[in-house]
Amino acid sequence: MALSIRRLAAPFGAEILGADLHQPPTGVLIDAVSAAVAEQAVVVLRDQLITDEEQVRFSRAFGPLELPPHMGLRGSLRRRVAPELFDVSNLDENGDFLPLESLRLASNRANEEFHTDSSFNALPTKWSLLSARLLPPFGANTEFVDTRMVYDSLPQELRMAVQNAVAEHYFWKTRGRAGYTMITEEMRRAMPSVLHPVVRVIPESGRTALYIGNHATHIAGWPRADGERLLQQLNDFATQQRFIYSHEWRTGDFVIWDNRCTIHRATKYDVLKYKRDLRRTTINEYGPEMSSTDALGIAP
């Protein structure tokens, strides 16, 4: 089947038809996906019930993987997915529901705030690629915002305010707000805060985007309250309904988005009643294939 691309019935986003990720990606598919993401920021491939190995193979065609960090947790992390993948599920290694006190369940709750993946890393994160293996019968959408579109629509006063602003991003901010309280100093050292400019130009499109979301804590060099207020204004403006694409998941969906120019959030579902198995690969713009904790030289 020949590849075709069609716009989604949304402010942005595209669907690619005719792809088969069971096969090694061809140059034609790689070019089509790259062009579609550059233009539309979010791209959907339907009916891709793939394996972890197939997901890793496809993802590596677009850049080096960002590997999951150990986050300063003691002992080995028991995994139910391939080591290159982030487990975005409510399931433990036996396929049972996660306990309420688990860090992964807290991370899932944190993901219900608008954010961009891995903005708390110094590594140059590029895309996320998310595979839907098992879904609840309803709900649990993912909502996306194209922050290039948001930047283009900013009031002049806000646009001027953000031009040279640099924000701190911190992993434990959203986890703490999600109710996870067992954060040790070792865990804080493994996932330290980092600084990123609020405004950046995306190389592939040449368009200007906001790099925001709820991992951002404040603006460096500003009075704390002023920086928090600016970030809240930006997040409130960006998450107006006119900027949102809400993805209704189907089993086998494979969704790709550019973290440099989008924010997203998961919507709620009953995590103790319905199983949800999504698996994410994340790629970096450049550099060696490693985790953020490896990059910091922190042993597991």
* Bridge partners of residue 96, in order along the sequence: none
Q: Give the tokens for residue 255.
A: 């969704």
Among left, alpha and beta (phi > 0; psi -120 to 50; other), residue 47 is left
For the chain, what percentages of helix, strand and coil (3-state, to nearest 5) are there? 25, 25, 45
Q: Please report the pLDDT score of residue 183 as a whole number.
A: 87
Q: Is 113 helix (H, G, I), strand (E, B) or coil?
A: coil
* % of the chain at pLDDT higher than 70: 98
Look at the block and give the residue holding tokens 């924010």: 263
Whole-structure pTM value: 0.95
In this prediction, residue 79 carries a pLDDT of: 85
What pLDDT is stored for residue 101 in this prediction? Answer: 87
Mean model confidence pLDDT for the chain:
94
Report the CATH superfamily, name and number, of domain 4-287.
Answer: Clavaminate synthase-like (3.60.130.10)
Q: What is the pLDDT along the chain (300 residues), one digit of tens a residue?
A: 689 999 999 999 999 999 999 999 999 999 999 999 999 999 999 999 999 999 999 999 999 999 999 887 765 457 899 999 999 999 999 999 999 888 888 888 889 999 999 999 988 799 999 999 999 999 999 999 999 999 999 999 999 999 999 999 999 899 988 788 888 999 899 899 999 999 999 999 999 999 999 999 999 999 999 999 999 999 999 999 999 999 999 999 999 999 999 999 999 999 999 999 999 999 999 989 999 988 888 876
- Tens digits of residue pLDDT in 60-92: 999 999 999 988 776 545 789 999 999 999 999
Query: What pLDDT is stored for residue 77 in this prediction?
Result: 59
- Per-domain residue ranges of the chain: 4-287
- Please write the tens of the pLDDT for every residue from 146-171: 999 999 999 999 999 999 999 999 99
85 bridge partner residues: none
**Alpha-carbon distance values, 219 to 196, 224, 233, 234 (Å):** 10, 7, 13, 12
